[in-house]
Amino acid sequence: MNIVITIDSKRTVKRMFILLLLVELLLVLLDGFINYGKWSSVIQFRRIFNVAREDGIATFFSALQLFATGLVVLAIYYRMRLENLRAWRRWVVLLLALFFLFMAFDDASKIHERVGSGVAALSSKSASTKGSRFVGDLLEAYPSYNWQIVFAPFFGLMGLIILIVLSTELKHRIVKMAAALGLLCYMSAVGIDYFEGIENSYVPIKEYFQARPYTVKHFLKVIEEFLEMFGTTLFLSAFLFHLLSSFKELKLHILSDSGQQGNSAVDRILFP
Protein backbone atom coordinates (compact mmCIF):
# COMPACT_ATOMS: atom_id res chain seq x y z
CA MET A 1 0.00 0.00 0.00
CA ASN A 2 1.35 3.40 -0.97
CA ILE A 3 0.19 6.58 0.73
CA VAL A 4 1.02 9.87 -0.95
CA ILE A 5 0.44 13.01 1.11
CA THR A 6 0.05 16.17 -0.95
CA ILE A 7 0.54 19.55 0.72
CA ASP A 8 -0.21 22.86 -0.96
CA SER A 9 2.51 24.93 0.72
CA LYS A 10 0.98 28.32 -0.07
CA ARG A 11 -2.51 27.40 1.12
CA THR A 12 -1.24 25.57 4.21
CA VAL A 13 0.94 28.46 5.37
CA LYS A 14 -1.79 31.00 4.63
CA ARG A 15 -4.33 29.11 6.74
CA MET A 16 -1.83 28.65 9.54
CA PHE A 17 -0.98 32.36 9.51
CA ILE A 18 -4.64 33.38 9.70
CA LEU A 19 -5.34 30.88 12.49
CA LEU A 20 -2.38 32.03 14.61
CA LEU A 21 -3.25 35.69 14.10
CA LEU A 22 -6.85 35.03 15.17
CA VAL A 23 -5.60 33.26 18.30
CA GLU A 24 -3.39 36.25 19.16
CA LEU A 25 -6.24 38.71 18.67
CA LEU A 26 -8.48 36.47 20.79
CA LEU A 27 -5.89 36.45 23.58
CA VAL A 28 -5.81 40.27 23.54
CA LEU A 29 -9.62 40.44 23.65
CA LEU A 30 -9.81 37.91 26.49
CA ASP A 31 -7.30 39.97 28.42
CA GLY A 32 -9.33 43.14 27.84
CA PHE A 33 -12.69 41.69 28.81
CA ILE A 34 -12.02 38.90 31.32
CA ASN A 35 -8.87 40.26 33.00
CA TYR A 36 -8.90 44.05 32.73
CA GLY A 37 -12.68 44.32 32.37
CA LYS A 38 -13.08 41.96 35.36
CA TRP A 39 -15.76 39.79 33.79
CA SER A 40 -14.67 37.27 36.40
CA SER A 41 -14.62 38.22 40.07
CA VAL A 42 -11.98 35.55 40.79
CA ILE A 43 -8.53 37.08 40.40
CA GLN A 44 -6.89 33.67 39.89
CA PHE A 45 -9.10 33.09 36.81
CA ARG A 46 -8.35 36.58 35.47
CA ARG A 47 -4.62 35.95 35.71
CA ILE A 48 -4.95 33.02 33.31
CA PHE A 49 -5.92 35.48 30.55
CA ASN A 50 -3.58 38.29 31.61
CA VAL A 51 -1.32 38.79 28.59
CA ALA A 52 1.03 40.98 30.64
CA ARG A 53 1.86 38.15 33.04
CA GLU A 54 4.50 35.50 32.36
CA ASP A 55 2.40 32.61 33.68
CA GLY A 56 -0.73 32.84 31.53
CA ILE A 57 -2.07 31.27 28.35
CA ALA A 58 -0.43 33.93 26.16
CA THR A 59 3.07 33.03 27.37
CA PHE A 60 2.39 29.33 26.80
CA PHE A 61 1.17 30.07 23.27
CA SER A 62 4.16 32.31 22.57
CA ALA A 63 6.64 29.68 23.78
CA LEU A 64 5.01 27.01 21.60
CA GLN A 65 5.22 29.27 18.55
CA LEU A 66 8.89 30.00 19.18
CA PHE A 67 9.64 26.30 19.66
CA ALA A 68 7.83 25.41 16.42
CA THR A 69 9.76 28.13 14.57
CA GLY A 70 13.03 26.75 15.93
CA LEU A 71 12.15 23.25 14.72
CA VAL A 72 11.22 24.54 11.24
CA VAL A 73 14.52 26.44 10.93
CA LEU A 74 16.34 23.33 12.19
CA ALA A 75 14.65 21.33 9.40
CA ILE A 76 15.90 23.93 6.91
CA TYR A 77 19.41 23.42 8.29
CA TYR A 78 19.24 19.63 7.82
CA ARG A 79 17.95 20.07 4.30
CA MET A 80 20.91 22.35 3.57
CA ARG A 81 23.22 19.61 4.89
CA LEU A 82 21.65 17.12 2.49
CA GLU A 83 22.32 19.54 -0.35
CA ASN A 84 25.89 20.01 0.92
CA LEU A 85 25.64 23.79 0.78
CA ARG A 86 28.48 25.97 2.01
CA ALA A 87 29.33 25.44 5.67
CA TRP A 88 28.98 29.10 6.70
CA ARG A 89 25.43 29.22 5.31
CA ARG A 90 24.49 26.09 7.23
CA TRP A 91 26.01 27.39 10.46
CA VAL A 92 24.19 30.72 10.19
CA VAL A 93 20.86 28.90 9.81
CA LEU A 94 21.72 26.56 12.70
CA LEU A 95 22.47 29.55 14.95
CA LEU A 96 19.11 31.03 14.01
CA ALA A 97 17.35 27.76 14.88
CA LEU A 98 19.09 27.66 18.27
CA PHE A 99 18.10 31.29 18.84
CA PHE A 100 14.39 30.53 18.41
CA LEU A 101 14.67 27.43 20.61
CA PHE A 102 16.44 29.48 23.29
CA MET A 103 13.73 32.15 23.06
CA ALA A 104 11.08 29.46 23.59
CA PHE A 105 12.71 28.32 26.83
CA ASP A 106 13.39 31.94 27.81
CA ASP A 107 9.75 32.89 27.31
CA ALA A 108 8.68 30.19 29.74
CA SER A 109 11.38 30.79 32.37
CA LYS A 110 12.36 34.50 32.11
CA ILE A 111 16.04 33.65 31.62
CA HIS A 112 17.10 37.04 30.26
CA GLU A 113 15.42 39.01 33.07
CA ARG A 114 17.01 36.83 35.74
CA VAL A 115 20.44 36.88 34.13
CA GLY A 116 20.27 40.68 33.90
CA SER A 117 19.34 40.96 37.57
CA GLY A 118 22.01 38.40 38.48
CA VAL A 119 24.75 40.31 36.66
CA ALA A 120 23.70 43.50 38.45
CA ALA A 121 23.81 41.71 41.81
CA LEU A 122 27.24 40.20 41.11
CA SER A 123 28.70 43.52 39.99
CA SER A 124 27.51 45.23 43.17
CA LYS A 125 29.00 42.48 45.37
CA SER A 126 32.34 42.52 43.52
CA ALA A 127 32.68 46.29 43.22
CA SER A 128 36.30 46.14 44.39
CA THR A 129 37.61 45.04 40.99
CA LYS A 130 37.97 47.47 38.11
CA GLY A 131 35.91 45.38 35.70
CA SER A 132 33.09 44.92 38.19
CA ARG A 133 33.02 48.65 38.94
CA PHE A 134 32.76 49.39 35.21
CA VAL A 135 29.86 46.95 34.76
CA GLY A 136 28.16 48.24 37.88
CA ASP A 137 28.49 51.88 36.78
CA LEU A 138 27.24 50.99 33.31
CA LEU A 139 24.17 49.20 34.67
CA GLU A 140 23.49 52.01 37.13
CA ALA A 141 23.71 54.64 34.41
CA TYR A 142 21.43 52.68 32.06
CA PRO A 143 17.91 54.12 32.47
CA SER A 144 15.92 50.96 31.72
CA TYR A 145 16.00 47.24 32.58
CA ASN A 146 19.41 45.66 33.25
CA TRP A 147 18.80 42.69 30.95
CA GLN A 148 18.72 44.93 27.89
CA ILE A 149 22.30 46.12 28.21
CA VAL A 150 23.51 42.64 29.22
CA PHE A 151 21.86 40.94 26.23
CA ALA A 152 22.24 43.81 23.72
CA PRO A 153 25.27 42.25 21.95
CA PHE A 154 23.52 38.87 21.71
CA PHE A 155 20.27 40.24 20.31
CA GLY A 156 22.18 42.57 17.99
CA LEU A 157 24.09 39.57 16.61
CA MET A 158 20.87 37.60 16.13
CA GLY A 159 19.28 40.52 14.31
CA LEU A 160 22.27 40.53 11.95
CA ILE A 161 21.93 36.76 11.43
CA ILE A 162 18.24 37.17 10.59
CA LEU A 163 19.17 39.77 7.96
CA ILE A 164 21.83 37.43 6.51
CA VAL A 165 19.35 34.54 6.28
CA LEU A 166 16.74 36.88 4.81
CA SER A 167 19.10 38.02 2.05
CA THR A 168 20.86 34.71 1.26
CA GLU A 169 18.32 31.94 1.84
CA LEU A 170 14.80 33.32 1.38
CA LYS A 171 13.96 33.57 -2.30
CA HIS A 172 10.34 34.71 -2.56
CA ARG A 173 9.62 38.42 -2.16
CA ILE A 174 6.60 37.90 0.10
CA VAL A 175 8.65 35.62 2.35
CA LYS A 176 11.42 38.22 2.62
CA MET A 177 8.84 40.88 3.48
CA ALA A 178 7.26 38.67 6.16
CA ALA A 179 10.64 37.98 7.79
CA ALA A 180 11.59 41.68 7.64
CA LEU A 181 8.26 42.65 9.23
CA GLY A 182 8.80 39.99 11.90
CA LEU A 183 12.17 41.52 12.75
CA LEU A 184 10.55 44.97 12.89
CA CYS A 185 7.92 43.62 15.32
CA TYR A 186 10.67 42.23 17.57
CA MET A 187 12.56 45.52 17.51
CA SER A 188 9.39 47.47 18.31
CA ALA A 189 8.65 45.15 21.24
CA VAL A 190 12.15 45.71 22.65
CA GLY A 191 11.66 49.47 22.18
CA ILE A 192 8.43 49.37 24.18
CA ASP A 193 10.16 47.29 26.85
CA TYR A 194 12.92 49.91 27.04
CA PHE A 195 10.29 52.63 27.42
CA GLU A 196 8.53 50.68 30.18
CA GLY A 197 11.75 50.35 32.16
CA ILE A 198 12.33 54.11 32.38
CA GLU A 199 11.00 55.54 35.62
CA ASN A 200 7.79 57.57 35.18
CA SER A 201 8.00 57.24 31.39
CA TYR A 202 4.28 56.50 31.21
CA VAL A 203 3.23 59.74 32.99
CA PRO A 204 2.69 61.81 29.78
CA ILE A 205 0.51 59.03 28.31
CA LYS A 206 -1.42 58.75 31.59
CA GLU A 207 -2.07 62.49 31.65
CA TYR A 208 -3.01 62.64 27.95
CA PHE A 209 -5.59 59.85 28.19
CA GLN A 210 -6.57 60.66 31.80
CA ALA A 211 -5.94 57.00 32.61
CA ARG A 212 -4.71 55.19 35.69
CA PRO A 213 -1.00 54.28 35.82
CA TYR A 214 -1.90 50.57 35.90
CA THR A 215 -4.01 50.93 32.76
CA VAL A 216 -1.18 52.54 30.80
CA LYS A 217 1.47 50.07 31.97
CA HIS A 218 -0.79 47.08 31.42
CA PHE A 219 -1.78 47.89 27.86
CA LEU A 220 1.76 48.89 26.89
CA LYS A 221 2.77 45.41 28.04
CA VAL A 222 -0.12 43.85 26.08
CA ILE A 223 0.98 45.67 22.92
CA GLU A 224 4.56 44.52 23.49
CA GLU A 225 3.53 40.88 23.94
CA PHE A 226 1.25 41.00 20.90
CA LEU A 227 4.08 42.37 18.75
CA GLU A 228 6.33 39.53 19.93
CA MET A 229 3.69 36.88 19.15
CA PHE A 230 2.84 38.40 15.77
CA GLY A 231 6.53 38.71 14.90
CA THR A 232 7.00 35.02 15.66
CA THR A 233 3.96 34.17 13.53
CA LEU A 234 5.54 36.04 10.62
CA PHE A 235 8.86 34.21 11.07
CA LEU A 236 7.16 30.82 11.38
CA SER A 237 5.08 31.44 8.25
CA ALA A 238 8.07 32.69 6.25
CA PHE A 239 10.38 29.82 7.18
CA LEU A 240 7.71 27.13 6.84
CA PHE A 241 6.78 28.35 3.36
CA HIS A 242 10.47 28.41 2.43
CA LEU A 243 10.90 24.83 3.70
CA LEU A 244 7.79 23.40 2.03
CA SER A 245 8.36 25.15 -1.28
CA SER A 246 11.92 23.81 -1.44
CA PHE A 247 10.62 20.25 -1.85
CA LYS A 248 9.66 19.15 -5.32
CA GLU A 249 8.08 16.00 -3.98
CA LEU A 250 7.92 14.23 -0.61
CA LYS A 251 6.69 10.64 -0.57
CA LEU A 252 5.86 8.47 2.42
CA HIS A 253 5.77 4.77 1.54
CA ILE A 254 4.24 2.29 3.98
CA LEU A 255 5.36 -1.22 2.96
CA SER A 256 3.90 -4.50 4.17
CA ASP A 257 3.98 -8.02 2.69
CA SER A 258 3.98 -11.64 3.87
CA GLY A 259 7.75 -11.95 3.76
CA GLN A 260 8.49 -8.80 5.71
CA GLN A 261 7.22 -7.32 8.93
CA GLY A 262 5.21 -4.16 8.55
CA ASN A 263 7.30 -1.05 8.78
CA SER A 264 7.11 2.58 7.76
CA ALA A 265 9.82 4.98 6.61
CA VAL A 266 10.35 8.00 4.46
CA ASP A 267 11.36 6.13 1.35
CA ARG A 268 12.46 8.91 -0.87
CA ILE A 269 12.79 12.66 -0.84
CA LEU A 270 13.18 14.28 -4.21
CA PHE A 271 14.68 17.75 -4.36
CA PRO A 272 14.56 20.17 -7.25
Number of folded domains that form the chain: 1
Question: Residue 271 has what pLDDT?
Answer: 41
Question: Residue 261 has what pLDDT?
Answer: 45
Question: Residue 265 has what pLDDT?
Answer: 44
Question: Residue 267 has what pLDDT?
Answer: 44
Cα–Cα distance between 91 and 74 in angstroms, integer?
11
Q: Does residue 232 form part of some domain?
A: yes
Question: Residue 125 has what pLDDT?
Answer: 61
Question: Residue 64 has what pLDDT?
Answer: 97
Side-chain half-sphere CA neighbours of 13 within 13 A: 21
Q: In what order do the strands lie in the sheet with 249-257?
A: 2-3, 249-257, 260-270
Question: Residue 268 has what pLDDT?
Answer: 45
Q: Does residue 193 form part of some domain?
A: yes
Angle formed at CA 76 by CA 70 and CA 80, multiple of 5 degrees: 145
Domain membership of residue 114 as a residue range: 7-255
Mark the ranges of the chain whose per-residue pLDDT is less than 70: 1-5, 123-133, 249-272
The contacts of residue 250 (CB under 8 Å, 6+ apart) are 5, 7, 266, 269, 270
Q: Does residue 267 form part of some domain?
A: no
Q: Does residue 268 form part of some domain?
A: no
Question: Residue 206 has what pLDDT?
Answer: 85
pTM: 0.86
Q: Does residue 260 form part of some domain?
A: no
Q: Does residue 98 form part of some domain?
A: yes
